[in-house]
């Protein structure tokens, strides 16, 4: 017998939600399948009766400028996100994060919706979205709502979504303004796949030599992807100097919960890497924020 009984290709959000609700057994949304199929195959996911493929729904694969900001469909393949001029301009941290996920084959099918819904604390796409203050548009059979990405988690591998009654339609991100920029950095084991030893995304706004607003997310720094608000406070209102970075590192080491994990890293090594990543990621965003030119802003859909 196969690993599932029904594979339904949905052509609209309503069709996908109906198929999930009508399934006579456990049903799951499938996008790229790079997490879900491995989990089913390797016994980490309970048996599934129906898979509902959402990758042919036009709304879920669009990347576009909208009146409220940048929209990225939850089932747009990562390879399109990486090369989208809109994403590269308005959400550099996200383009940089997606470019590092897996290899080309994985990026051609894997999606941002899957990266978020899989709910790993160091998922690269999720960490970038949180630093960029993204909200997820979520559909169920009653309608739609928008919720900050950072609120979509219950614990490691546990999203707050009802897997048989809800799906992420797409993500809404604020547009980049003059003096704003973002960056993503991570450290992987050289032969590693899937999850970073440590990753970090920084979004900041710079006026002259002062950071006037900043968001930092890093993983794994706890059971769910999260912002490091004390670290942000240590840098806000300062120039990106050695002194400010040293104070921010003290705050980071106090608020991040680093664990030793058998296949990736000791907690001590993560603490060491935190200093390197904090400096590199903040400085990348700081330098970029100082070099933004308004005429470089793309306005077309991609």
Name the residues that contact ligand FAD, by CB under 6 A.
28-36, 38, 54, 74-75, 100-102, 106, 110-111, 113-115, 117-118, 123-125, 161, 163, 167-168, 193-195
Please report how close the Cβ of residue 77 comes to ligand FAD at its closest, in angstroms. Answer: 8
Residue 141 CB, shortest distance to ligand FAD, in Å, is 14
Encoding tokens for residue 88? 């590269």
CB of 62 to ligand FAD, least distance (A): 13
Cβ-based neighbour number of residue 103 at 10 Å: 8
Nearest to ligand FAD of 138, 235 (CB atom): 138
Per the structure block, which two tokens stand in for 19? 């198929």
Q: Which long-range contacts (CB under 8 A, 24 or more apart) does 272-280 make?
A: 273/187, 273/197, 273/198, 274/198, 274/218, 274/249, 275/249, 276/187, 277/185, 277/186, 277/187, 277/198, 277/199, 277/200, 277/218, 278/200, 278/216, 278/231, 278/245, 278/248, 278/249, 278/252, 279/245, 280/185
Residue with the shortest CB distance to ligand FAD: 114
Structure token pair of residue 277: 């990543």
**Smallest distance, Å, CB 16 to ligand FAD?**
9
The residue (of 53 and 133) whose beta carbon lies closer to ligand FAD is 53
35 or 133, CB closer to ligand FAD?
Answer: 35
d(CA 122, CA 225): 6
Q: Which is nearer to ligand FAD, 155 or 290 (CB)?
A: 155
Least distance between ligand FAD and beta carbon 33 (Å): 5
Evaluate whether 63 touches 73 at the Cβ level (below 8 Å): yes
> Closer to ligand FAD at the Cβ: 147 or 212?
147
């Amino acid at each position: 017998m196969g690993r599932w009984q029904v594979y339904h290709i949905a052509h609209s959000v309503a069709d996908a939600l109906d198929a999930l609700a009508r399934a006579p057994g456990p049903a799951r949304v499938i996008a790229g399948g790079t997490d879900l199929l491995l989990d089913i195959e390797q016994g980490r996911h309970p048996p599934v009766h129906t898979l509902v493929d959402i990758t042919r729904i036009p709304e879920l694969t669009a990347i576009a400028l909208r009146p409220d900001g940048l929209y990225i469909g939850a089932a747009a393949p990562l390879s399109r996100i990486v090369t989208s001029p809109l994403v590269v301009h308005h959400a550099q941290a996200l383009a940089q994060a997606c470019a590092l996920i897996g290899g080309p084959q994985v990026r051609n099918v894997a999606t941002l919706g899957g990266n978020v819904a899989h709910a790993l604390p160091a998922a690269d796409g999720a960490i970038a979205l949180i630093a960029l203050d993204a909200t997820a548009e979520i559909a169920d059979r009653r309608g739609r709502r928008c919720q900050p990405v950072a609120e979509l988690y219950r614990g490691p591998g546990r999203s707050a979504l009802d897997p048989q009654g809800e799906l992420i339609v797409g993500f809404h991100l604020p547009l980049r303004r003059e003096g704003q920029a973002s960056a993503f950095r991570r450290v992987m084991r050289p032969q590693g796949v899937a999850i970073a030893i440590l990753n970090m995304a920084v979004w900041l706004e710079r006026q002259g030599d002062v950071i006037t607003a900043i968001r930092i997310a890093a993983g794994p720094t706890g059971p769910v992807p999260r912002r490091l608000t004390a670290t942000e406070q240590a840098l806000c209102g300062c120039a990106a100097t050695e002194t400010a970075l040293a104070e921010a590192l003290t705050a980071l080491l106090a608020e991040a919960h680093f664990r030793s994990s058998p296949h990736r890293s000791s907690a001590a090594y993560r603490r060491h890497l935190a200093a390197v990543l904090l400096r590199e990621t903040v400085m990348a965003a700081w330098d970029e924020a100082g070099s933004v030119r308004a005429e470089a802003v793309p306005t077309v859909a991609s």
